[in-house]
A and B are shown apart, each in its own frame.
Chain A
Amino acid sequence: MGAIPDFPPEKLELAASGDSAATEELVRALSAPVYYFCLAILKNGEQAEDAAQEALLKVLSSLVSFKGKSAFGSWVYSVASNHCLDLARKNSRRRETSLEELSLSGFEPCDGSDSEAAAARHSLEAALAELSEEHRTVINLRELAGMSYGEIAAATSCSEGTVKSRLFRAREELRRVLAARGEKPDAEPVAKEL
């Protein structure tokens, strides 16, 4: 199950013909997944929001060209992916705010146990930052954008098998980095921040 739900062809035809209710429904369903996808690729909140808006408008204006040969979600991600890659190329000197710099102010530590959780979170963020660009991106696409293996494959133009093995290598690399930082894997501290 991917992050983008499947829409019946009639609904997509309605949206393509300019029906406002169908268009709004699409915008509602696609906004978050497309934004998280852009964030996973661009790793910058502001740029991701602008890119997601432009990608969504592109998706809506080219709905007539969607023939249903692939899953709707995969098609949306490939449109967004092309847009993000164009942006990244145009803006190669962009300031790359790491995902960890995004506002997590709602989860500020307030007592001893929470600072333990914050320390665990910072350690994980530091480990993620040590990963290669390729490994970080594939983890972001899976965990932040919530994409299925198939959707990642469509968006990155590679096979599902390649996605699986890349994801596996990325996760093992993360585990190695955490171990090198002297961390004992433990899910609990981060969860306490909730």
Chain B
Amino acid sequence: MGNCSELEKAYMFGDGELPPEEAAAAIAHAASCPDCAAAMETHERVKTYFSLLRQAARPVGLEASVKYALRAAAEEDIGILWRAMVPAGALAFATLGCWLLLDSWTDQQPLSDMIVDRGSAIYEVIGGTDDLLRQLKLEGQDL
């Protein structure tokens, strides 16, 4: 439409895309060029219109709906984890139960007795250590 070679700069000025020296030159040029002055005015009007439109079309519920969708996805992930863990836990319990049952049918010492024996042995070692320490203290040996 316009014939001035500086028109593109007039629009870039409106976009704030010109460095300060070029911006100053664009303003000075527009003062004597009706084409560039008109382009700057139209551009300003378009910018004002779109800033009104932005306010009118503001996405009020978007942020909240994205957060809600994220929370829902996270809860679903936890649900999937639980759904996977329940059968796994049940399988582990069943395996342990079968093992103890089979164990009690064999001639060897039952597993449950072995656990009790090991526990007693550990308790005895700890008790023995305590006795030794007490004895050494009575003999006046400072550790």
Contact = CB atoms under 8 A, between A and B. Distances in A.
A binds B: yes
Interface of A: 23-24, 27-28, 31-32, 35-36, 39, 45, 48-49, 52-53, 56-57, 60, 99, 102-107, 120-121, 124-125, 139, 142-144, 146, 149, 164, 167-168, 171-176, 178-179, 185-187, 190-191, 193-194
Contact of B48 (A35, A57, A168, A190): A190
B66 A31 contact: yes
Given A105-B56, A143-B47, 19 more contacts: A31-B63, A49-B62, A52-B59, A57-B73, A104-B52, A107-B52, A121-B52, A144-B50, A149-B15, A164-B8, A171-B39, A171-B46, A172-B39, A185-B38, A190-B45, A190-B48, A190-B49, A190-B52, A194-B52
B129 interface: no
B2 A143 contact: no
A27 B70 CA distance: 10
Interface in B40-81: 41-50, 52-59, 61-63, 65-67, 69-70, 73
Chain B, interface size category, equals: 35 or more
10 contacts: A48-B59, A53-B66, A104-B53, A124-B45, A149-B15, A168-B11, A174-B46, A175-B38, A185-B42, A187-B45
